[in-house]
Structure 1
Amino acid sequence: MDILLSADQRRFKEECRIFAENEIAPLAAKYGETDDIPGELVRAMADAQLFRLLVPEETGGRGVKSMPICLVREQLAGVYCVADVTFAMQGLGSYPIVLAGNGEQKARFLTRLGSGEILSTYALTEPEAGSDVSAITSRARETDGGFVLNGLKRFISNGNAADIAVTFAKTPLPGNARALSALVVEKRMEGFRVHKRLKAIAPHDLVELEFADCFVPRENLLGSVGDGMKIALKTLDRFRVSVGAAALGIAQVAFGAAVDYAKQRVQFGRPIAGFQGTQFKLADMATELDAARALVYRAALLQDAKGDNITRAASMAKMYATEAAFRIVDQSLQIHGGMGVMAGSTIERLYREIRALRIYEGTTEIQKLIIAKSLTEG
């Protein structure tokens, strides 16, 4: 599906592939699966100017465009989950500031985020507020000079390493008791701490964040009081398609491994690639991979061109690519047979890593609701 890319985009994709192979793969081998973010990894990504893709040109970046973000995630995800998550969370934590930050906030935060000097995270999910964002119970009470924030956030990626957390909390308004606001909470602020580090089936920096009478100055409010829901949804809209791109990266590695193994593995006197059952699996995998890539690239191009039905296209891409990638990884494991379930093998790692992508930034079921709503109410 590279036919959808311009010459510059194809060249950038190849640069990302080489970077992932030459710089990230050795770090993956050195640090392995970890719930920490190695400083060496952050420096490598910063030196490659990757974080600058997440901030505007006026703050030292290269402009926030969906296609480059997708091409980076596609190449990182299959090589090292920690690198992909770090890039994604830097984007999710930066984009609310890009959207709603004033000049002072952009200068204060985005310049350092783009250089990799500081790391960010996006604190939206809570124990009782996952798909239903309106169920958030964290509260930010207005007081002299700012807000007093109380609440608990769960499943926050890069939450331990992050220097800032864009945090969404209830700030009730007349006529809107569920109004949310977005606050930039800094690690140094009293009352803000990592409450618990969480263990997922695919290790990465995943935590619960606690805010206990945490004072956040008014200058850290993004936009106006009550703008939080709009900021949160626009951010998810922008980065949702890149989750599909990460799924492509994982699926591509799994597919390549399946083809190689099928050619080498001999049973009943010949490579299993010669058996129709294996051939049908490979044919389905190749077709789904191409279809998923087309949907992801189309959505990214539409976002960058400010085209029509962008939200629907992003949801289609995220839904189909993550579901197809899961099927591809599963069939690759099946082709590998017993070797596929051996701890430490590439396909075993990918099998664990792909599962979360069907859940975070909007489950498959939520994507279907978004798509259907756009068709019936648009």
Structure 2
Amino acid sequence: MTAFSLEPAQTAWCEELRALAEEQLRPLAEKGDPGRVNRPLIAALGGAGLLDRMLNSGALDLCLLRESLARGCTEAETALALQGLGTHPLVRSGTPAHRERWLPEVRAGRAVAAFALSEPGAGSDAAALALTAGPAPGGWRLTGEKCWISNAPEADFYTVFARTTPGAGSRGVTAFLVPADRPGLTGTALEMLSPHPIGALEFDGVPVTPDDVLGEPDRGFRVAMDTLNLFRPSVGAFAVGMARAALDATVAHTAHRTAFGGPLKDLQAVSHQVAEMATRTEAARLLVYAAAAAYDAGESGVPRRAAMAKLYATETAQYVVDTAVQLHGARALRRGHLLEHLYREVRAPRIYEGASEVQRTIIAKELYASREASA
């Protein structure tokens, strides 16, 4: 098991990121249209060098980025993470032509990426994809739909996973890089609980060629899992960042808010809740860092550790934010309050990139498989 601790330079960098998010990125986020891609915000991330840093980061650096940005501006964190999710398959499996065309644009914040895996009937069961890539002269034609795709329908390109071999399960899926201007590709925006850019995509015979393949034909599921194994711990980091923001606000609030003749912090029921929030947040943070360090070190058991990190951190963040709302009272329910914002933001990470139930399944399967292998 990899041992690790943050260096002073890393801690200082995290504080710089949080300050950048609060002072420069949050004003851009507040000017954006809810539910739409915020291109000025993405351009600012590129101008600050954060998109380039993300694409060249290991798992631990990615987690530090996401956690720190989330403490200061969740919209900035989400914009950065979605750029990474849609672009990582190009970094790992793209051709030189793919990288030359798109990576400079992503790094500069000029191009918007999207990761198109989920479908109406294939969310948690990603191997059950129904979008087909039917044979056509010079390549394939994509027919079907994708749903719950972040940055759709406004992205400039999509990493699309489609079935090229019927009946082959995960072994018959191919990853394609599909520019948004391909004929037959259309999309619609979806309104969500938290106003993120999310939409559905329709593929009506969209043409793709061997030059559009990421990796190898029929091996696209590996591309998807490689991306998710990296990003799952960092979803946990996003959750930790939100939990820390809620905890910071709660410590400040309970220290000065008076009730029953003194500050709330003097009430044992309150102080014990704050202590529980802090303990769970720190445990989640360490679990996320451990999973990221294991990924960077190339250790075995990364899928299980990534699943544990995402599961525990997202469930913890839900608890911490909910408790923070309770301790703040009605003021936390007012539109525009930090905790009202976090309350809406914190729910989705328990679902996307593998719901909590899926993470528990991954953890249990690996535990039993390890037992059988050692028997």
Bin for the TM-score computed over the shorter chain: over 0.9
For the aligned residue pairs, the C-alpha RMSD in angstroms reads: 1.7
Distance change in 2, residues 1:22/1:176 (3 Å) = closer
1:126-141 equivalences in 2 (<5 Å): 126-141=119-134
Identify the residue that residue 22 of structure 1 maps to in structure 2: 23
Q: Is the 8 A contact 1:16 1:71 kept in 2?
A: no
One-letter amino acid of the structure 2 residue matched with residue 219 of structure 1: D
* Secondary structure class of the residue paired with 2:347: helix
* Secondary structure class of the residue paired with 2:200: strand
Which segments of structure 1 move beyond 4 Å, counting only runs of 4 or more? 173-178
1:225-236 equivalences in 2 (<5 Å): 225-236=217-228
One-letter amino acid of the structure 1 residue matched with residue 231 of structure 2: F
Deviation at 1:367, TM superposition (A): 0.8
> Which of 277, 280, 290 is residue 288 of structure 1 equivalent to?
280
Matched, 1:353 2:345: yes
* Secondary structure class of the residue paired with 1:4: coil
Q: Is the 8 A contact 1:85 1:157 kept in 2?
A: no
Deviation at 1:305, TM superposition (A): 1.6
Percent identity, please.
38
Q: Is the 8 A contact 2:127 2:169 kept in 1?
A: no
Q: Distance in 2 between matches of 1:107 and 1:303?
A: 27
* Secondary structure class of the residue paired with 1:165: strand
Identify the residue that residue 103 of structure 2 maps to in structure 1: 110
Identify the residue that residue 40 of structure 1 maps to in structure 2: 40
Identify the residue that residue 256 of structure 2 maps to in structure 1: 264
Identify the residue that residue 316 of structure 1 maps to in structure 2: 308
- With 119-128 and 339-348 compared, the bigger mean Cα shift is at 339-348
One-letter amino acid of the structure 1 residue matched with residue 350 of structure 2: R
One-letter amino acid of the structure 2 residue matched with residue 146 of structure 1: G
Deviation at 1:157, TM superposition (A): 0.7
Identify the residue that residue 64 of structure 2 maps to in structure 1: 71
Q: Is the 8 A contact 2:22 2:73 kept in 1?
A: no
Q: Distance in 2 between matches of 1:343 and 1:16?
A: 26
Q: Distance in 2 between matches of 1:22 and 1:342?
A: 23
Deviation at 1:236, TM superposition (A): 0.6
Q: Is the 8 A contact 1:28 1:79 kept in 2?
A: no
Deviation at 1:265, TM superposition (A): 1.6
Q: Distance in 1 between matches of 2:293 and 2:169?
A: 36
1:176-325 equivalences in 2 (<5 Å): 179-194=172-187, 196-325=188-317
Q: Distance in 1 between matches of 2:168 and 2:71?
A: 47
Identify the residue that residue 373 of structure 2 maps to in structure 1: none
Deviation at 1:34, TM superposition (A): 1.2
How many residues of Structure 1 are paired with residues of Structure 2 in the alignment?
367
Q: Is the 8 A contact 1:53 1:65 kept in 2?
A: no
> Which of 358, 365, 371 is residue 373 of structure 1 equivalent to?
365
Identify the residue that residue 59 of structure 1 maps to in structure 2: none
One-letter amino acid of the structure 2 residue matched with residue 114 of structure 1: R
User: Which ranges of structure 1 fall in alignment gaps of 5 or more residues?
Assistant: 56-62
One-letter amino acid of the structure 2 residue matched with residue 370 of structure 1: I
One-letter amino acid of the structure 2 residue matched with residue 289 of structure 1: T
Deviation at 1:74, TM superposition (A): 0.8
Distance change in 2, residues 1:206/1:103 (3 Å) = same
TM-score under structure 2 length normalisation: 0.93
Identify the residue that residue 99 of structure 1 maps to in structure 2: 92
Q: Distance in 1 between matches of 2:11 and 2:153?
A: 35
Identify the residue that residue 13 of structure 2 maps to in structure 1: 12
Deviation at 1:77, TM superposition (A): 2.1
User: Which ranges of structure 2 fall in alignment gaps of 5 or more residues?
Assistant: 371-375
Q: Distance in 2 between matches of 1:16 and 1:344?
A: 23
Query: What per-residue deviation string (whole Å, max 9, x for no partner) do you get for residues 293-342 of structure 1?
Result: 10111111111121232211111111111001110001100101122222
1:167-178 equivalences in 2 (<5 Å): 167-172=160-165
Deviation at 1:38, TM superposition (A): 2.4
Deviation at 1:217, TM superposition (A): 2.6
Identify the residue that residue 159 of structure 1 maps to in structure 2: 152
Q: Distance in 1 between matches of 2:168 and 2:205?
A: 26
* Secondary structure class of the residue paired with 2:182: coil
Identify the residue that residue 58 of structure 1 maps to in structure 2: none
Identify the residue that residue 60 of structure 1 maps to in structure 2: none
Identify the residue that residue 145 of structure 1 maps to in structure 2: 138
- With 69-78 and 274-283 compared, the bigger mean Cα shift is at 69-78
1:120-131 equivalences in 2 (<5 Å): 120-131=113-124
* Secondary structure class of the residue paired with 2:346: helix
